[in-house]
Chains A and B, each alone.
Chain A
Amino acid sequence: MTTKNNVYITSSTSISCAGNTNDELFSNICLEKTGIKNNKNYSYDSNPAIGKIISDLSFDENIIQQCQNILENSNLQNFENTLLIVGSSVGGMSNTEQSYFKDNHYKNVNTSKHNIQSIINTIQNKYKFYDNISFSTACTSSANAIGYGYEVLKKGIYDNVLIVGVDSLCHTTVGGFMALGVLSNNVCKPFDKNRDGMNVSEAIACLLLQTTKSQNCVEVCGVGYSSDAYHMTQPHPDGSKNAMKNALKCANINEHEINYINAHGTGTMANDTSEAAAIQEVFPNTVKVSSTKSITGHTLGAAGAIEAIVSSMVIQNQTIPTSTNLRDIENENINLSTKTTKEPVNYVLSNSFAFGGNNCSLVFGKVK
């Protein structure tokens, strides 16, 4: 990559089932207080454990509120010199479902509220941006958005980038993952021998990326992309291994310098076995690993962004979180964190993997 600038996360904010602020999110992760609950509203014949945002505001109002939080906690007066990058897996799918299930026809479906661009439309009704782009690569959507934001700033193309990782719960994703047989009725147990699936969740996570430092900012040090070229839903360890290696190369650091890996760790049999094998191959077993999805659930297209916030808070707080619900470790060759510990953290790697074998790893670092 042609490099020019350093890139920093200068402001971030989130809302998820694990908390309505970043502080609540990180505190709940460290204290093992999950936001996942059983909910029958998205399934006619089962009671899956899922993660729903608790808020008096509508989902769209929460998107605007998160953008407003960024504006108020940054050096920006407005977003007119900012590139807006949205990462979302389903966009406005819940709007389409609502209309179609009510009417049994598509005549009242508002196409501008259906697709990924509907998120941009919602935000641009309130704020003016320099330009915008959306990525939709299923569960890597917002990780890829951060990767792209990193690239455009690094190459000196734009001045500021606002990342919005967002996905709302909908019948399509809950029913779809149920059809694949990977949805759990319990809080998920990533990397446990007895894990029985994932928890679909919703979240909105925003990060402001800039090329100048701010107080308590965290550096985005590198991004690594790869494709499995293998199967639509079954991961191949080589794909995730390549993404992690590419991220280390981009960040110009070696595997021994990473202190913590925030794993994709969905709690499905396929992902966790494959990811653990890949981590085992790339990293020494001194590097601590955990998945925070037993607290947040799998927020799909928002996962990369919310886990980027978790990763940056690990660095800011010099605290590595535990692996909630992990009792019986499947792969003893990786160093799964089993309690929340205060310790020096210079670099964190965050993994996101998706349908189609789309992989993205991000490296975050303590600002020197």
Chain B
Amino acid sequence: MKKINLEILEASYIYDKEQIKELNTKELVPKMVTRRRLTRSAKIAIYLASKINASTQRIVYGNAYGELNATQSILNSINNKEQISPTVFQNSVYNTAISYLSMLNTNTSEIMTVSSGDITSSNILKAGAIKALDKDEIVLIVTESLNIDHIEDMNSCIEFLEVGVALKVKVTNEENTLSFDNNNDEKYPPSVVSMLNIAKNFNKEQKNIITICL
């Protein structure tokens, strides 16, 4: 098994049981025409990116379920034999949130979107570690926005329906200083847990180095 050590340079996270209240979107996205099009995940990603000073770095982003609000709206339109909204359709792809962030930051770099179900954030860390071998700083972001109508029909175990985590990382040869696990006692979406536990244990006053096992 190969191992890569990553130094966590910055970390930020946010969550709420239903909807995250303050994402500072008005200030971060001054243009109303753009702001109105943003999905919840896009707003979370933009907020987190601002917290870790992300600019034009390569990004590995991920989510497990994509843009559920857009997906639900499309399904309702089809079921009701109504025209699908073009804006909703373009906002339904899994890479929607991070695409809006790239436009906002004029980031023309490589931007990947991982969707690996419950192991999404674990796979973001692996992909990020492999990319970081090229010696640049990589931004890792995971979001989930599950607060859709009738979510209770499908969800009985996740308590925090909106969650986002962002890390800025670079590869290092220094020793591991931070361990992380997939403990999920507080019932976050499993897809965010690996990165959330790292962000929660991040201490700006010291070196934060993790080992990624591949």
A228 contact set on B, CB distance < 8 A: 102, 108
The answer to the question of B206 belonging to the interface, with a C-beta cut-off of 8 Å to chain A, is: no
Closest A residue to B59 by CB, please name it: A227
Closest A residue to B76 by CB, please name it: A100
The answer to the question of B74 belonging to the interface, with a C-beta cut-off of 8 Å to chain A, is: yes
B94 contact set on A, CB distance < 8 A: 89, 116, 136-138
A135 B114 Cβ-Cβ under 8 A: yes
Give how many B residues have a beta carbon under 8 Å from the other chain's beta carbons. Answer: 54
A355 contact set on B, CB distance < 8 A: 90, 93, 95-96, 99
Kindly identify, within residues 107 to 124 of chain A, every residue whose CB is under 8 Å from any CB belonging to chain B: 107, 109, 111-112, 114-117, 120-121
A105 contact set on B, CB distance < 8 A: 150, 153
Known A133-B116, A135-B112: A227·B64 in contact at CB below 8 Å: no
Kindly identify, within residues 73 to 102 of chain B, every residue whose CB is under 8 Å from any CB belonging to chain A: 74-75, 77-79, 81, 83-86, 89-96, 98-100, 102
Known A101-B78, A172-B78, A229-B106: A136·B86 in contact at CB below 8 Å: no
The answer to the question of A299 belonging to the interface, with a C-beta cut-off of 8 Å to chain B, is: no
A229 B95 Cβ-Cβ under 8 A: no
Kindly identify, within residues 41 to 95 of chain B, every residue whose CB is under 8 Å from any CB belonging to chain A: 64-66, 71, 74-75, 77-79, 81, 83-86, 89-95
A233 contact set on B, CB distance < 8 A: 90
The CA of A44 and the CA of B84, in the complex, are separated in Å by 12
Q: Of B8-16, B123-131, B195-203, which stretch is located at the interface?
A: B123-131
- 26 pairs, A vs B, C-beta closer than 8 Å: A89-B93, A93-B71, A105-B150, A115-B115, A116-B115, A116-B117, A133-B114, A134-B115, A136-B114, A137-B113, A158-B214, A172-B78, A175-B77, A176-B74, A176-B84, A180-B89, A180-B90, A181-B86, A226-B108, A227-B107, A227-B109, A229-B106, A355-B95, A356-B95, A356-B96, A357-B99
Q: Which 10 A-B pairs have the closest CB atoms?
A: A356-B99, A117-B117, A176-B89, A225-B110, A136-B94, A116-B115, A179-B84, A106-B153, A138-B93, A136-B115
List 5 additional A-B contacts (Cβ < 8 Å) besides A104-B79, A137-B93, A227-B107: A120-B116, A179-B89, A225-B112, A229-B103, A356-B96
